[in-house]
Structure formats: structure tokens, C-alpha cells
Amino acid sequence: MRILTHNMLMCNVKKCNMQGYPLKIVPSQVETVENEFNPEFIAHMIPKLDWNGVISAAADLNITNLPPTIPAGAASDETFLRSLHGLLLDITIVDGQLVCKNCGRSYKVSGGIPNMLLNEDEV
Amino acid sequence: MSRPEHFAPPEIFYNQDESVKYTTNSRIMEIQANMTNRALELLALPENKPCYILDIGCGSGLSGEVISEAGHEWVGVDISADMLNVARDREVDGDLFLWDMGHGMSFRPGTFDGAISISALQWLCNQDKTENIPQVRLKKFFQSLYNCLARGARAVFQFYPETPKQIELITTAAMRCGFAGGLVVDFPHSTKAKKFFLCLLAGSPQEYVQPRAVGEDYTGDEDTTHVAYSAGRDKAAGSAPSRLGKKKQKDSIKSKNWVIKKKERRRRQGLEVANDSKYTARKRRPKF
């Protein structure tokens, strides 16, 4: 799972009721795979990003050099888009856990695929 | 044909054997690719703009590959771990999740520019456990889907309804959750080529324009003697109907062009790809 998708993901347990965000990443294996850089797509996604979620995910992966807010004119700043691409689309969480900060539910990630299946009492 | 829903729940039916069989069968690959192309067409995304798409019931990523080829990023969810393992081994571009669509999609509001689902929705109508009540699961699913779609985004579901009652069950569930839309039936007069697409719009009903079905015996101004089933779309490329207009024709799966294009795409991604030669995509003779 890439950080971009992590930025969109919330805890699915019913009682969390959209409060379980962002999920804490407890990584045990992280990979970096270079993908084709598509500035248009990144610029398209910027308004959809939750920047606090990005900072939280980056902190879980020991990346701390992020600006506290999205800089003005980010959508046309190629160097910024490139670094954002590197963070959001190149880094993949292969193994580990996603932990909800609200209810404490943990979702296992194995082989890059998070297991989001719930038990009956959580639906 | 028999229905897989009658045998076992999806996570059990699509086991390792079935997943591999499903993904290596070139007939299924072609049908899936065709249906995905049609679904993307119905999705009516803005042209030449990379979008973020949700693929519900992505399976081994056959539909995802078509989305990638169209230049979009995607996120796929499926309930069968074995199917997802096949998808991972094929190194598809999208992010994969082991997820039960009946539990609802918990993505942030407004995340996706569109959602597609190929041959998955009918599974929701099956009650394979006592606690899985179809109405409840459908409601949960459509409600959460409505939330995670951007306003004005569409969702297109290709599905195989078993009875008219099932169609009603699904469409009413969707309409109750605020979706505008309706059913598009391609090739309505053919038993084999008939395809059901549920097109939904997350936005005001006034904006929804019902797309025209393919292969329908429409009583337009001209051509009233037109035969209903034109045998175009689902046959191999090359005989596509003129409805496609100026659009580029798609290469059929496993043809030489298709293989070369795929190799090129993977090269661009920086993956290790065998060199092209005169033997590329050449068929092995049975005597081999």
C-alpha cells in the first residue's frame, strides 16, 4: 500500500464512525519502487490530500522534513511535486500493521495487502 | 451456465486454483477487458486527465490493467485473498486491499473520481451466512460508496443479476442512498451478449443523463430495420461497430501489438523485460 492510499483510508469499525483517521503505520518492511512521475496526477490529488495525514504517515516512517502546510502554488512547483510523488507513490508498505488511534483496532498488512476484513461485531 | 454464487462464498470459491485459472484463461481476460473498457466509457471521466479510481471486486487485477492503460491510478478491493495474491504476483499498478464490500468502504469523503466494479455486485445478493443480510449489506455498501466519491463522480457496475427481483433490490438500495442513475443493458435482445451495467451518479439527479446502450434496437429516425444484435463488441477486435467512431481500436489480448505495448509500458516502469525479437508473441506450435 502506498502513502497516497493511506492518506484516504479510515478505520472501518462501526463505532469509530469516521473518527479513526489517520491510521498509525507500524512498519516492519517498507520498500521504495520508482514509478513514472505524473505531475498532472499529483497536482490533481493535492486538494484531496489531508496534509496532517501525510505528516503523520511520514513521521511513522521517520521522514520529518515536510513543511507544516502545503506551500502556496504547490501545484505548479515541479520540485515540490517530485518530492511529493516520491513520498506518496514510490514508498510502499509491504509488511506491518495499521493501528486506529481511536479504537485501537489493528489491521495487518502482509505482502503489501492490508487486511480490512471486520468481525461481525465490528460491522 | 452455472452461477459461482451457488457453490460457495466468494472468498472460498475463488481459491488458489480458481484464481489462477481465471487469470490465465484468455477468453475471460478478453471479456473482462471489454467490459472494463465499456465501464470506463460509461464512467465519462474528463478527457486526458489522470483520475483516481476505485475498483470494487478487483480480483486478479484484469480490470485494473485496463484502468492503468487508460492512464489512471486505481485502488482495488476484493474479498478473495488468493485472487489478490495472483494480482500481486502479476505486479499490477494499483493498491490492493482485502476487503468485504458489504462492510462498507471507509475512505475519506470525496476521495475517488469514479468507481467501477466488474462482475462483483451480484455476490452481495447472496446470503451465505446468517448474519449477512443482503439488504443491510447493500445499504451499507452504497451509503459508504456515496460518501467516498467526489460530487458529480460516477460509479459503474457490471453485474450478472439472477432474477429481475435482484435488479430491483440493487437499484432501490442505490437510489435510497442518494444516487441518481439507472440500468444500461447492452445487447438487450441477445441472451449471450447481454450485459447489465448499473450507472450511478453521486450528485443531483438533474445532472444524470442516461447513457445509450449498445446494440439496442433503437427506434430512431433512420435505420428502423436495424437488427438488434450486431455481434460487434464482444467479438474479436476488427469488427467493432461504427459506434466507436474515431476512437482508436483496442488490440485484442495476447496479440503481437498488445504484447509489445505491454512490454513497453513495463519498460517505462523500469521493470526487467525481455528484449523484443522476431519470436515475440509468436504462437508455439503444438509439436513444440
Q: What residues in chain B have their Cβ under 8 A from chain A's Cβ atoms?
A: 49-52, 73, 75, 77, 79, 81, 84-85, 88, 93, 95-100, 103-104, 106-108, 110-111, 131, 140, 148, 268-270
Q: Please check whether residue B40 is in contact with residue B116, taking contact to mean a CB–CB distance below 8 angstroms.
A: yes
Taking the complete model, does pTM exceed 0.90, yes or no?
no
pLDDT at position B159, please? 94
State the Cα–Cα distance between residues B44 and B28, nearest whole angstrom: 25
Q: What is the pLDDT of residues A52-73, one digit of tens each?
A: 999 999 999 999 888 888 888 8
Say whether B107 and A21 touch across the interface (CB within 8 A).
Answer: no
Per the DSSP assignment, residues forming a β-bridge with A92 are: A2, A31
pLDDT at position A86, please? 92
pLDDT at position B220, please? 41
Nearest residue of B to residue A1 by CA position? B95
Average pLDDT over residues A8-33: 91
pLDDT at position B1, please? 58
Q: How many helices (H) and strands (E) does chain A have?
A: 4, 4
CA–centroid distance for B9 within its chain: 20
C-alpha cell at position B254: 495476447
**CA-based torsion, A96, A101, A107, A111: positive or negative:** negative
* Successive 10-residue mean pLDDT values, chain B, 288 residues: 81 87 87 93 90 94 93 94 92 93 93 95 86 90 94 94 91 93 88 89 85 67 39 44 58 87 87 90 81
- Amino acid in the structure at residue B50: P
pLDDT at position B183, please? 92
Judge if ipTM > 0.90.
yes
pLDDT at position B233, please? 46
User: pLDDT tier at A74 (50, 70, 90 boundaries)?
Assistant: confident
Residue A91, C-beta contacts closer than 8 angstroms, at least 6 positions apart:
A2, A3, A30, A31, A32, A61
pLDDT at position B217, please? 61
Facing A10 at nearest CB: one of B77, B106, B269: B106
pLDDT at position B247, please? 58
pLDDT at position B228, please? 41
Say whether B49 and A12 touch across the interface (CB within 8 A).
Answer: no
Facing A9 at nearest CB: one of B107, B110, B270: B107
pLDDT at position B64, please? 94
Element (H, E) at A80: helix A78-85
**CA angle (B39 as vertex; B35, B44 as ends), nearest 5:** 155
Percentage of chain A modeled with pLDDT above 90: 70
In terms of DSSP bridges, do strands B112-118 and B73-78 run parallel, antiparallel, or are they unpaired?
A: unpaired
Per the DSSP assignment, residues forming a β-bridge with B117 are: B157
Average pLDDT over residues A31-41: 90
Element (H, E) at A95: strand A91-99
Q: Please check whether residue B145 is in contact with residue B57, taking contact to mean a CB–CB distance below 8 angstroms.
A: no
Q: Which residues of A touch B88 (CB under 8 A)?
A: 111-113
In 3D space, the residue among B99, B103, B20, B31 whose CA is nearest the CA of residue B63 turns out to be: B31
pLDDT at position A41, please? 93
pLDDT at position B11, please? 85
Task: Tally the C-alpha atoms within 13 A of residue A92's C-alpha that lie toward its C-beta.
Answer: 19
